[in-house]
Amino acid sequence: MKIEFKEYQLALNYPFKIADYTRTSTPLVFVHLSDEGIEGIGEASMPPYLGENIETAFAFLEKVKIDRFSSIEEILKVVDAIADGNNAVKAAVDIALHHWYCKKHNIPLYKYFQSDPANMPYTSFTLGIDTKEVLKEKIKDADPFHRIKIKLGSENDKEIINTIRSISNKEIVVDANRGWKNKEEAAAMIDWLASKNCLFVEQPMPVDQFEDMLWLKSRSALPLFADESCKRLKDIELVKDGFHGINIKLMNSTGLHEAQKMINKARELNLQLMIGCMSESSCGILAAAALAPQCDYADLDSPWMVSNNPFENPVLKDGKIELLD
């Protein structure tokens, strides 16, 4: 198989602020795999705080040699063994491989994974933290979506929620992005959020405060989802007692193949599931959408948050991404 790759800067509509960090664009690498006249495309999205970048991705891809197509599993095993980490660029290869395989066999990706489109969850739409005046404008972008995602984890969390609640009654999902350091305060905040029609909280505390998460889970008024605490299959055993569910992202899981294994494992352990994303184009988002019907929640909003998606945006119907044959 021939492998080619190129870089792309995905420009955000609004500077993106989370608990400890702000940015205006996200570096991507697109991977093109071709063989037998068929081309598969994959994507790596690399927000700088995750440690990958264009240079590390290119250096990794120089080492990927696929002499001939054997099986997806076999190829990905070899790719994963090239080096530790590099999860996003591994995902790019994985997505391109699945794209190629499904095109060759003329089968939609969601059917390959035996996902039932009837079970597609709503996709939440992330509203960045801002002043009430700006939020009143921004909230119009959330019109086609049924759920709003809010990033908390700063001094004025209640003020942010109250501001949103003064302009919208939509269900809110909260991502604290490791921003709460004190378990009692986190528990009190979660009680309050539950009274404000919030559905769950993602990554309330830092990854290393696992003992606090055991306590918090035991008395939390809302389900708690692991994001930064659970990136790959091997992490699920470590977080299963501290969280009610996990957020799977292809850029963390090294792609679809391992994401499906994570879904199966999480179900075995009675964990809830959400599928999320980094700042990705439609390439990564449509790949994740193929697994979304197997999850309880979806957070696949990035194509609607960028100004230069090089592909068409996914089709959104009744707040859900439509899976096309």
Taking the complex as a whole, how short is the minimal distance between the CB of residue 203 and Mg ion, in angstroms?
A: 5
**Only segment of 18-26, 117-125, 167-175, 278-286 that touches Mg ion (CB under 5 A):** 167-175
Task: Count the Cβ atoms, other than its own, within 10 Å of residue 58.
Answer: 14
Taking the complex as a whole, how short is the minimal distance between the CB of residue 62 and Mg ion, in angstroms?
A: 31
Instruction: State the Cα–Cα distance between residues 237 and 314, nearest whole angstrom.
Output: 34
- Using alpha carbons only, what angle is made at residue 141 by residues 138 and 145, rounded to the nearest 5 degrees? 125
Of 40 and 242, the one with the shorter C-beta distance to Mg ion is 242
**Only segment of 8-16, 174-182, 234-242, 314-322 that touches Mg ion (CB under 5 A):** 174-182
Q: Total residues at the site for Mg ion (CB under 5 A)?
A: 3
Say if residues 249 and 228 touch (Cβ distance below 8 Å).
no
Cα-only R_g, the chain? 19
Of 175 and 235, the one with the shorter C-beta distance to Mg ion is 175
Q: Which of residues 84-113 bind Mg ion (CB under 5 A)?
A: none
Of 227 and 280, the one with the shorter C-beta distance to Mg ion is 227
Using DSSP, state whether 60 is helix, strand or coil. Answer: helix
Instruction: State the Cα–Cα distance between residues 131 and 112, nearest whole angstrom.
Output: 44
- Residue 58: which residues within 8 A CB-CB, separation 6 or more? 5, 7, 29
Task: Give the distance, in angstroms, between the CA of residue 162 and the centroid of all CA atoms in the same chain.
Answer: 26
Q: Which of residues 220-239 bind Mg ion (CB under 5 A)?
A: 227
Of 5 and 200, the one with the shorter C-beta distance to Mg ion is 200
Taking the complex as a whole, how short is the minimal distance between the CB of residue 248 and Mg ion, in angstroms?
A: 11
- Using alpha carbons only, what angle is made at residue 227 by residues 7 and 287, rounded to the nearest 5 degrees? 45
288-307 b/e with 16+ CB inside 10 Å = b? bbbbbbbbbbbbbbbbbbbe
Residue nearest Mg ion, CB atom distance: 227
Say if residues 295 and 115 touch (Cβ distance below 8 Å).
no
Among 43, 175, 235, 280, binds Mg ion (CB under 5 A): 175
Taking the complex as a whole, how short is the minimal distance between the CB of residue 33 and Mg ion, in angstroms?
A: 29
Taking the complex as a whole, how short is the minimal distance between the CB of residue 272 and Mg ion, in angstroms?
A: 15
Of 33 and 213, the one with the shorter C-beta distance to Mg ion is 213
**Only segment of 22-30, 171-179, 193-201, 235-243 that touches Mg ion (CB under 5 A):** 171-179
**What is the maximum alpha-carbon separation in the chain?**
59
What are 256's two structure tokens? 């679809």
Taking the complex as a whole, how short is the minimal distance between the CB of residue 18 and Mg ion, in angstroms?
A: 8
Taking the complex as a whole, how short is the minimal distance between the CB of residue 175 and Mg ion, in angstroms?
A: 4
Q: Which of residues 183-202 bind Mg ion (CB under 5 A)?
A: 202
**Only segment of 26-34, 74-82, 90-98, 169-177 that touches Mg ion (CB under 5 A):** 169-177
Mask 275-304, x = binds Mg ion (CB under 5 A)? Answer: ------------------------------
Helix then strand then coil, % of the chain, to nearest 5: 40, 25, 35
Task: Count the Cβ atoms, other than its own, within 10 Å of residue 239.
Answer: 20
**Only segment of 55-63, 116-124, 175-183, 233-241 that touches Mg ion (CB under 5 A):** 175-183
The DSSP secondary-structure symbol of 233 reads G
Binding-site ranges for Mg ion (CB under 5 A): 175, 202, 227
